[in-house]
Structure 1
Amino acid sequence: MELRIDPDRNIRTGVCDCCQTPYDRVNGFINNDDGAYAIYYASCYHHNEIHEAWIDVIIDDAWAPDEPVSRPGPNRVTFGCRVGPVEGQPAPACSLVKGAAVAPDEPFYGRKLTREEALAHPWLSDYWETIDHILENDTTVRQHLYG
């Protein structure tokens, strides 16, 4: 499956509620050969001088071109991970977390998967492929994490 980040992605700057440092939040569509494949949100933080990103990916097997993306298919789920320093690792590493944990509980996100649910989900390998694509191809996220 060949993935592509839609060039119309959005970047918004905000201030972290917990530490008052600025962050960038990128969101956009990821397309594959069939069209819309996923929506991602990547929040790039500088918590305590540590560069980390929290990335949520919404995957749905029923994206409909004539339907608003806010209308989820019955299988829509949201995965989440933290990417950043991990003790004993020379490079940033990914750790599964609850999907869209800080987002409101809205149908848009489908089922927000916990770490345990994500580990057992049949789309987990698709999620990791999507994360790899974001880390390699989203210039904002890549620059934030890898310089």
Structure 2
Amino acid sequence: MDLTFSGERQVRQFPCQCCESTVDRTWSRLNRDGVARAVFYASCYHHAEGGEVYFDIVIGTWDTEDLSDHVTFGCRWGAIEGHDQPMCSLTTGGEVLGDNPLFGTKLDRPAALQSPLLPEFWDMVDFLLLNDPVVAPFVNGHRARLR
């Protein structure tokens, strides 16, 4: 699967509600094999006790008015108790993004684990962790601090 960024990238900053640190949120489209396949939102939290990234990825058919096949997955990258390296764990997709029909079905962890699109979601998360110009430096900076 060949993933690429598509369309205009958006980036904005806002204060974290829990600690007033900065949050960098970026979003754009992802193409798979040259076809629009997803929209992602990645929110990088600069918490004093350690950074974390929340991903919300809407997978479906784009460039049409029919949103019926859209599903939103979510995960969190960051420290996990009992592990010496940050990891990703499933969360409810699009939980903080409102009720726009764009998000389709927002999957919680049990539903995400049953979805046939889960491997595609993880491929997209891996792609963003390695290639997104906001996420990749954030993640690499926090990994370096853990060593």
Q: Note whether the superposition's TM-score is higher than 0.5.
A: yes
Q: Tell me the secondary structure at the aligned position of residue 6 of structure 1.
A: strand
Percent of residue pairs identical: 40
Contact in 1 for aligned 2:67/2:101 (Cα 8 Å): no
Instruction: Give the counterpart of 1:143 among 108, 117, 137.
Output: 137
Letter in 2 for 1:83: W
> Could you tell me which residue of structure 2 aligns to residue 123 of structure 1?
117
> Could you tell me which residue of structure 2 aligns to residue 42 of structure 1?
42
| Deviation of the 1:5 alpha carbon | 1.8
| Deviation of the 1:42 alpha carbon | 0.2
**Which blocks of at least 5 consecutive residues in structure 2 are unaligned?**
142-147
* Moved beyond 2 Å, runs of 4+: 87-91
Separation in 1, partners of 2:19, 2:51: 14
Closer, same or farther: CA 3–23 of 1 in aligned 2, 3 Å:
same
Deviations 1:71-104 (A, max 9, x none): 4532210000000111233322000000011111
> Could you tell me which residue of structure 1 aligns to residue 128 of structure 2?
134
Number of aligned residues:
141
Contact in 1 for aligned 2:79/2:86 (Cα 8 Å): yes
TM-score by length of 2: 0.89
> Could you tell me which residue of structure 2 aligns to residue 89 of structure 1?
83
**Which blocks of at least 5 consecutive residues in structure 1 are unaligned?**
none
RMSD: 1.5
| Deviation of the 1:7 alpha carbon | 6.3
TM-score by length of 1: 0.89
> Could you tell me which residue of structure 1 aligns to residue 144 of structure 2?
none
